[in-house]
Structure 1
Amino acid sequence: MPTTYSISDLARELDITTRAIRFYEEQGMLNPERRGQERIYSARDKVSLKLILRGKRIGFSLAECRELIELYDPTGNHKQLETFMRKIAERREQLRQQLLDIEQMQLELDTAEERCLAAMAQVPA
């Protein structure tokens, strides 16, 4: 018998709220079975949820997470892994650019601060 999870099982195990799980379900990223009002999540849903949470931690958008989930193939996930590696490289490049932008902004702040201090030194108190 396949392993299944209730929404509270997943929330507890992955340390997220049931509301977050329902949000991802509303976005079409999870597809639990229904037994009346009860949601029954599969092992695949759990893997998808882990991928979403990992993607969020490293700055992926929901669309990027969805793309990776859609590439999942239980017989072999080479294409999914290649796409994930490409997205990791893209994210690294974005972060490198953000670091350069921050360094440039810090230099501009330093210059503005120096000018303010010099101007204040010339104005009588």
Structure 2
Amino acid sequence: MIKKGLIVILYTLLISCSKNNNELRSFKDPIIGVWKLDKYLGDFSFDVTPDCVKNNTFIVHDDLTFDLTTYETDSQGNCVEKASNKGDINKKDANLYEGRRAEMILLDNSTLKIQPSPAWFMIFKKQN
């Protein structure tokens, strides 16, 4: 009788541990995903967020590496890719991240602030 009780307790513990481990494995950092530029903000006297620039895309992968693709309007008025950068992100705190040249703050699960300079920053919106 005691053996059966012990087996039931051990089985229950194994199931409980297994469930918790699966939950831990399925956790996904909220910064992971595809982000589109919403606007530049800062100490500017003109609109610095033209429609073409809003195509800038910031993709954060599961391993906290990123791809940043930026766009600009060429001399013919076409929106063209300007540059593509890759890098690593370090998580500093719950909603605070750091890249090579910028601090990143997750304002909520759909809004990311990237601040490469104290004078200006960019707001990105998460894409579904």
TM-score (norm. length: structure 2) = 0.27
Higher strand proportion (structure 1 or 2):
2
Choose between structure 1 and 2: higher helix proportion.
1
Greater relative contact order (CA < 8 Å, ≥ 6 in sequence) = 2
Larger Rg: 1
